[in-house]
């Protein structure tokens, strides 16, 4: 399924969520002489499809796949139980949580936040903004649940 949206509407949804959006999303060029007008990021093709509970073994670290929908339908997190570390992607981060963008589902996001509130994380690396500790994770989840009717 594909959904197209006018850039002005998308930017307005980011601003409603609390983000400041200047005239350009790029804040710094990666190197001198970088030509932004020619920039393209080729798609990376999946080599494996993962599901809730799958384990990703990197040799010295093992991550469990957590399905964390709400922000978007296919959001996942990677949980390392040994170090109590969560890579949460866009499911939770220390900034305005976007739940009114295309593909978001607030009731499903509420369920994800309930789950994250109970996770014994020590460190969280979100998809945006600085990393934070487990106490902050639980606070962010509780605040979301209070705001969205749990």
Could you give the CA distance from residue 13 to residue 40 in angstroms, rounded to a whole number?
A: 25
Residue 22 is predicted with a pLDDT of 61
pTM of the model: 0.74
31 bridge partner residues? none
pLDDT at site 41: 72
Read off the pLDDT of residues 22-81 as tens digits, 9 standing for 90 and up.
655 555 677 888 887 777 777 888 888 999 999 999 999 999 999 999 999 999 999 999
Per domain, the residue ranges of the chain are: 39-147
Burial class (CB in 10 A: 0-12, 13-18, 19+), 66: buried
Give 45-61 pLDDT, tens digit per residue. Answer: 888 899 999 999 999 99
Assign domain 39-147 to its CATH superfamily.
Ribonuclease Z/Hydroxyacylglutathione hydrolase-like (3.60.15.10)
């Amino acid at each position: 399924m594909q959904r197209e949206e006018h850039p002005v509407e998308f930017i307005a949804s980011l601003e409603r969520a609390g983000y400041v959006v200047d005239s350009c999303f790029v804040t710094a060029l990666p190197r001198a002489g970088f030509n932004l007008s020619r920039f393209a990021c080729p798609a990376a093709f999946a080599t494996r499809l993962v599901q809730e509970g799958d384990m990703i073994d990197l040799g010295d670290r093992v991550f469990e796949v957590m399905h964390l929908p709400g922000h978007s339908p296919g959001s996942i997190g990677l949980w390392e139980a040994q170090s109590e570390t969560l890579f949460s992607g866009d499911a939770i981060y220390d900034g305005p949580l976007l739940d009114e963008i295309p593909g978001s589902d607030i009731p499903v996001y509420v369920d994800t936040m309930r789950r994250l509130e109970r996770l014994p994380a020590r460190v969280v690396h979100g998809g945006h903004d600085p990393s934070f500790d487990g106490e902050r994770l639980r606070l962010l989840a509780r605040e979301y649940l209070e705001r969205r009717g749990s």
